[in-house]
Every structure is written in C-alpha cells, then in structure tokens.
C-alpha cells in the first residue's frame, strides 16, 4: 500500500492557498488607494502589505491601484499589477479569468527589462500551467523565472517557492534523483533566507524525500532509517509551529504537516492508531472549513487506520466519501491521489468478493497511472532540469575563464608597469646625479665670485633679506595652518643662502628668486598665493619662465633642482 504518496497535493496547496493568520484591514487599504491626496509611490509601497489578505480582497485593491497606474502609463507597474490580479484569480480557481489578466500583462513585456518583474511574470505563468496540469510548460516558465530572480538577487524567498513547486512534480512521480537535485539547490537558499516559513518548506520536502526513499527500499528490503528520517522532519515542523511565538506560520499550512506525519506513522509495522487519529483530528481542526483537500486527506488516513484495525466496511464508507468529494473538484486533479484511492477501493472490494466492482476500480487506477507515467512528457521535464543544471555549470566555467583571463592581464600589466617604473626611477636618479654635479660646480664658482667681490657683506645681507621677507610672510599669512607654517619655517632656516647668489647670477628677478625659495621648501600653491596675493596662473607662468632662465631641459624637474640647490632634504 502506498499510504505516503497521497499527501503530496498538500505541498502545492499550501504554497499557493494558505489563508492569513493576521490580515491588514482591506477597507482601510482600499480607501488609501482611492485617496488622491496620497502619492502614487506611497500607494505602491502599501501593496507589500496586502499579501496576507484573501484573494478577492487583493483583487479589489489591485484593481483600484491599476486605474492610477494606467493613467501614469508606468508599463512595469501595470504589468506587475496584471500579474498579481491573475495570480489572485488563480487562487480562487478562476482559470480563464487568470489567463485573461496574464495575457494583458504580456502586452507590456517587450518594453520591460526589470528582472523582478520578468521573474514574477514567468513565475505566475508557471503556477497557471501547474494548476492546469501542463507540467512541461509549467517547468519551462519556472526555470525562466528562476533565471531572472537569480540575476536580480532580491527574491530569494520566491526562488525557494518555485523550487518547491518543481519538487512537487518529482514527489508526485517518486523521482528521488531529481528531487535530491532540488533539495541541494534549496539548501544554500534556505540557510541564507533565515525565514521560518522557508525552513518549514525545506523540512517538508526532506520529509517527503525520505518517505519516497523508504517506499522504494520496500521493493527489495525496507530501510527503516528512511522512514525514521521522514518522521523526524515531520515532528520538527510540528515542534516549530507549537513553539512559534512570532506567529509567522499559518495554521492552515501546518495542518498538512500534521496529516503528512500521520501518514508516515501509518507506514510503521507497529502502528499507534491513537497517535495517528490525534494527528488527523489536529490537522482537521487547524484547516479551513472549506478546504476539501484537507477533508479528503483526513478521510484517507482515517480510512486506512480503520482498515488496519480490521474495520474494512467502515473504511470503505470513508473511501467512498473521499471519492465523492474529489469528483467535485474543479481546480486541478491530483493524479496520484486518484490512483491510490482507486487501488485501495479495488483491494477492499476484492476482500468483499465483489470482483466486478474491484475490476472497475482497478481499470480507473490504470488510467491515472498512465497519466502519471507519461514518459514522453516526463522526459521533457527531466531535460529542463538537466538543461538548467548544465547552464549553471557553463556559467561557472565561463566565470572561471574570465577570472583566469583577468588575472593573466593583471599580471602582465603589473609586469609592464613595474618595468616602466624601474626605468623611470633609474632615469630620475641619473638626472638627479647630473643636476647635483652641475649645482656643485655652480656653487664652487659662486663662492669664488663672492670671495672676489669687494661688497661681500652687502651680498650676504641681501641674501638674508630674501629669507627674512619670506619668513615674515609665512608667519603673517599662514596662521590658519600651523602645521604647514611650522614645517615651512624649519626648512627656511636650513636653506643654503649662497644659492641665492647663483640664482641672481643667472639673471632671475627678486620676485622669481622668492618663488624659487618657496618651491624649494615645498610650499603649496594656495599658500604661495596667500603670501604674495597672486593668482594660480601667475605661479604657473613664473614656473615656466624660471625653468627657462635656469636653462633646464624639458624633462628636468624644477622642484628637485631647487631642493638640491638649496641643500634641502626631500619630503
């Protein structure tokens, strides 16, 4: 008996159809949307708060906001609103109306490049085809949505929901290999999300995964560890809910975890029927009164429990009730649920000796099994999974290639840069040595001239005046920068004053000699302009003329020349 696989419909149901535990006041939000005194941006921000409202209430609010969006002709927001209205109609089971809004959203898609909006559009189309049982198209849209959301890196929770819906297909078919790939994809996303509802989704899928492994192991030798793992994850979910003080978990959602756990306990060799019935009753009490999916699940568990206790006739009554409810469903059929139910009814009728009815039920089961195991369709779905994984690997390989190429270019650039820096430093060193030799010769010549001059004292007095004048200007005009002022004065005291005679001998005017001393002691341009009340342009002009007067070459550095001339240290 495949007790376990009945409950997989709940995975899809809870992702899309949970009712809110706490909802905002829809009337107050609706009044805000119709209030012309509130900005469009504020109204748009308020849409984030309507996700906990009932679908019909969401549709009213979104429709009101859509009017203003169309007036403003904001294509991205119009497309987003159409998608969300379509999604809400999907929850209500209004498939045609949902498709109508999604088709309207399609009209705006060509002009949209925002990955979040593109992701939302493909995600909701994926939900639409999922609920219409077109798994191939559903998966195509889901993987497109994941691609856009991964580029935006802002919708981690939405990616988790999409992977959960994809997992539903693999759970339904018992495909543990592809389900394991989805679990591996979910693991880093869930750990990063730090969201309790994402943790619950992840644990629920893991519970289903181990339950499926246990069912497969029964074909040879049952591996009890798989079933134990499935039960452990189920118990963890219930423990999460019962200790959740934040009230972020919906009772209607957790109800399915209770019923799934009851199903796992039902697979044990030694069954505690009291525990199973307690879990089933708890699930029913937490669920919505109109949730026929939960009612069907509870009838199934109670029927199997009665059957295990040998009460076959009572069990058959519950199974017949279950079938009657399922035949009224109009949203989507759960193929595995139908197949397992028809199989159980066939077995019950065999025990009763009603072979004709047993045969009819068996034939119905076969029809549903064929739909589940549509190999051509499932191959396409598996290929989509493979393509997604291959694309991810190719992206990683391309990224690694780009990194290697970048590092290679960086190394070459560093090598070339180092080569030119070395050459430049060597050239500067040679220039500095040449300048120092020239300066020494000039100083020797200047000292001889000073010794021969009859007015030697007059020359030294004039040299001192240059230094004193600059000293006074620095003290007077640079009080606002005491650190720079102190540094300039210290360097000014250390200048070789005989060098002033060399500059004078080269025909430099007094003002330019003053500028040379300023350049030599490393004065900043703005400080020179403050001391001499001149413009920046005047300094640049005098620099050029001083270089010409000193007969320096184009590549020679004036500052280095003057520092060497005045025998100062480089700073």
Q: What is the pLDDT of residue 132?
A: 82
Indicate whether 507 belongs to any domain.
yes
Question: What is the full DSSP assignment across 427-483?
Answer: HHHHHHHHHHHHHHHHHHHHHHHHHH-TTHHHHHHHHHHHHHHHHHHHHHH-TT-HH
CA dihedral over 178, 179, 180, 183, signed as positive or negative: positive
**Euclidean distance between CA atoms 80 and 50, whole angstroms:** 14
Q: CB within 8 A of 18, min separation 6: which ones?
A: 250, 252, 253
Indicate whether 409 belongs to any domain.
no
CA dihedral over 326, 327, 332, 338, signed as positive or negative: positive
Cα angle vertex 535, ends 529, 539, to 5°?
75
**How sure is the predictor about 207, in pLDDT bands with cuts at 50, 70 and 90?**
very high
Distances 537 to 244, 473, 526 between C-alpha atoms, Å: 73, 20, 11
Q: What is the pLDDT of residue 405?
A: 76
Q: CB within 8 A of 400, min separation 6: which ones?
A: none
Q: Which of 236, 240, 218, 237 is nearest to 227 (CA)?
A: 218
**Euclidean distance between CA atoms 51 and 31, whole angstroms:** 17
Q: Which of 160, 150, 226, 211 is nearest to 188 (CA)?
A: 160
pLDDT at 380 over 50: yes
Paired tokens of 17: 């159809």
Q: CB count, 10 Å around CB of 167?
A: 28
Q: What is the pLDDT of residue 81?
A: 92
**Exposed/middle/buried for 437, CB within 10 Å: 0-12, 13-18, 19+?**
exposed
Q: What residue numbers bound the domain in which 456 lies?
A: 418-565
Per the CB < 8 A criterion, the answer to whether 232 and 259 are in contact is no
**CA neighbours within 13 Å on the CB side: how many for 456?**
9
Per the CB < 8 A criterion, the answer to whether 156 and 126 are in contact is no
Indicate whether 459 belongs to any domain.
yes
**Euclidean distance between CA atoms 494 and 517, whole angstroms:** 11
Q: CB within 8 A of 300, min separation 6: which ones?
A: 6, 318, 319, 322, 337, 341
Distances 202 to 3, 19, 48, 224, 384 between C-alpha atoms, Å: 21, 20, 24, 22, 22
Q: What is the pLDDT of residue 456?
A: 67
pLDDT tens per residue, range 82-118: 999 999 998 888 889 999 999 999 998 888 888 999 9
Rounded to a whole number of angstroms, the CA Rg of the chain reads 42
Per the CB < 8 A criterion, the answer to whether 292 and 254 are in contact is no
H helices within 270-374, ranges in order? 273-286, 292-308, 312-326, 335-352, 355-372
Indicate whether 356 belongs to any domain.
no
Q: How many residues does the chain have?
A: 571
pLDDT tens per residue, range 209-268: 999 999 888 888 889 999 999 999 999 998 888 887 766 677 888 888 899 899 999 989
Indicate whether 151 belongs to any domain.
no
Q: What is the mean pLDDT of the chain?
A: 80
Indicate whether 493 belongs to any domain.
yes
**Euclidean distance between CA atoms 507 and 509, whole angstroms:** 6
Instruction: Determine what percent of the chain is predicted with pLDDT higher than 70.
Output: 82
- For residue 353, the SS3 value is coil
Q: What is the pLDDT of residue 9?
A: 41
Paired tokens of 322: 């279950």
pLDDT at 185 over 70: yes
pLDDT tens per residue, range 534-555: 888 889 898 888 888 888 887 7
Q: What is the pLDDT of residue 3?
A: 39
Place of tokens 């019935």: 277
Q: Which of 542, 536, 552 is nearest to 513 (CA)?
A: 542
Indicate the DSSP class of residue 506.
Answer: T
pLDDT tens per residue, range 119-167: 999 999 999 988 887 888 888 899 899 889 888 877 788 888 899 888 8
**Euclidean distance between CA atoms 348 and 315, whole angstroms:** 9
Question: What is the full DSSP assignment across 30-64?
Answer: HHHHT-TTS-HHHHHHHGGGGGGS-HHHHHHHHHH
Question: What is the full DSSP assignment across 513-549?
Answer: HHHHHHHHTT--HHHHHHHHT--HHHHHHHHHHHHHH
pTM: 0.57
pLDDT higher at 332 or 553:
553
Cα angle vertex 302, ends 298, 304, to 5°?
115
pLDDT tens per residue, range 395-419: 665 677 677 777 778 788 787 877 7
Q: What is the pLDDT of residue 389?
A: 62
Q: CB count, 10 Å around CB of 385?
A: 20
**Exposed/middle/buried for 538, CB within 10 Å: 0-12, 13-18, 19+?**
middle
Q: CB count, 10 Å around CB of 478?
A: 19
**Exposed/middle/buried for 394, CB within 10 Å: 0-12, 13-18, 19+?**
exposed
Q: Which of 388, 382, 393 is nearest to 146 (CA)?
A: 388
Average of pLDDT values for 551-571?
77
pLDDT tens per residue, range 472-485: 988 888 888 999 99
Per the CB < 8 A criterion, the answer to whether 551 and 508 are in contact is no
Indicate whether 357 belongs to any domain.
no
Angle 536-549/558-565 helices, nearest 10 degrees? 70
Q: What is the pLDDT of residue 331?
A: 40
Domain count of the fold of the chain: 1
pLDDT at 33 over 90: no
Indicate whether 551 belongs to any domain.
yes
**How sure is the predictor about 523, in pLDDT bands with cuts at 50, 70 and 90?**
very high
């Amino acid at each position: 008996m495949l007790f376990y696989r009945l409950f997989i419909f709940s995975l899809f149901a809870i992702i899309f159809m949970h009712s809110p535990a706490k909802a905002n006041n829809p009337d107050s939000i609706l009044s805000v949307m119709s209030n012309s005194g509130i900005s469009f941006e504020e109204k748009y921000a308020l849409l984030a708060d309507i996700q906990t409202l009932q679908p019909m209430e969401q549709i009213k609010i979104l429709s009101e906001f859509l009017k203003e969006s169309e007036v403003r002709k904001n294509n991205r927001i119009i497309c987003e609103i159409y998608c969300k209205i379509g999604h809400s109609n999907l929850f209500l089971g209004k498939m045609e109306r949902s498709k109508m809004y999604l088709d309207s959203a399609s009209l705006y898609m060509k002009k949209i490049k925002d990955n979040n909006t593109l992701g939302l559009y493909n995600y909701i189309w994926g939900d639409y085809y999922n609920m219409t049982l077109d798994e191939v198209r559903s998966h195509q849209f889901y993987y497109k949505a994941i691609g856009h959301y991964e580029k935006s890196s802002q919708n981690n929770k939405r990616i988790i929901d999409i992977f959960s819906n994809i997992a539903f297909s693999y759970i339904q078919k018992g495909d543990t290999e592809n389900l394991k790939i989805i679990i591996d994809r979910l693991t880093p996303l869930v750990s990063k999300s730090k969201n309790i509802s994402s943790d619950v989704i992840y644990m629920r899928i893991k519970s289903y995964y181990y339950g499926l492994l246990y069912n497969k192991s029964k074909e040879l030798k049952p591996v009890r560890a798989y079933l134990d793992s499935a039960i452990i994850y189920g118990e963890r979910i219930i423990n999460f809910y019962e200790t959740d003080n934040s009230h972020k978990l919906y009772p209607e959602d957790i109800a399915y975890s209770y019923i799934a756990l009851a199903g796992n306990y039902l697979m044990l060799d030694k069954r505690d029927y009291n525990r199973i019935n307690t879990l089933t009753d708890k699930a029913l009490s937490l669920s919505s009164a109109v949730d026929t999916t939960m009612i069907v699940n509870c009838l199934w568990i109670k029927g199997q429990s009665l059957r295990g206790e040998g009460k076959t006739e009572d069990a058959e009554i519950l199974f017949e009730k279950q079938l009657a409810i399922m035949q009224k469903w109009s949203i989507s059929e759960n193929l595995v649920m139908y197949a397992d139910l028809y199989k159980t009814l066939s077995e019950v009728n065999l025990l009763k000796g009603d072979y004709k009815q047993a045969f009819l039920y068996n034939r119905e089961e076969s029809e549903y099994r064929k739909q589940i195991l549509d190999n051509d369709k499932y191959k396409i779905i598996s290929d989509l999974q493979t393509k997604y994984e291959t694309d991810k690997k190719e992206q990683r390989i391309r990224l690694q290639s780009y990194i290697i190429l970048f590092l290679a270019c960086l190394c070459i650039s560093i090598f070339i840069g180092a080569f030119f820096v070395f050459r430049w430093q060597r050239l500067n060193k040679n220039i500095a040595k040449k300048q120092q030799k020239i300066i020494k010769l000039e100083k020797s010549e200047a000292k001889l001239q000073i010794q021969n001059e009859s007015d030697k004292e007059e020359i030294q007095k004039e040299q001192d005046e240059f230094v004193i004048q600059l000293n006074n200007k620095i003290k007077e005009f640079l009080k606002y920068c005491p650190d720079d002022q102190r540094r300039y004065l210290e360097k000014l005291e250390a200048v070789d004053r005989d060098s002033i005679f060399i500059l004078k001998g080269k025909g430099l005017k007094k003002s330019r000699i003053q500028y040379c001393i300023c350049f030599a002691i490393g004065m900043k341009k703005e400080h020179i302009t403050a001391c001499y009340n001149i413009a920046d342009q005047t300094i640049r002009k005098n620099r050029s003329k001083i270089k010409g007067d000193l007969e320096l070459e184009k590549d020679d550095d004036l500052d280095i020349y003057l520092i060497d001339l005045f025998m100062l240290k480089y700073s």
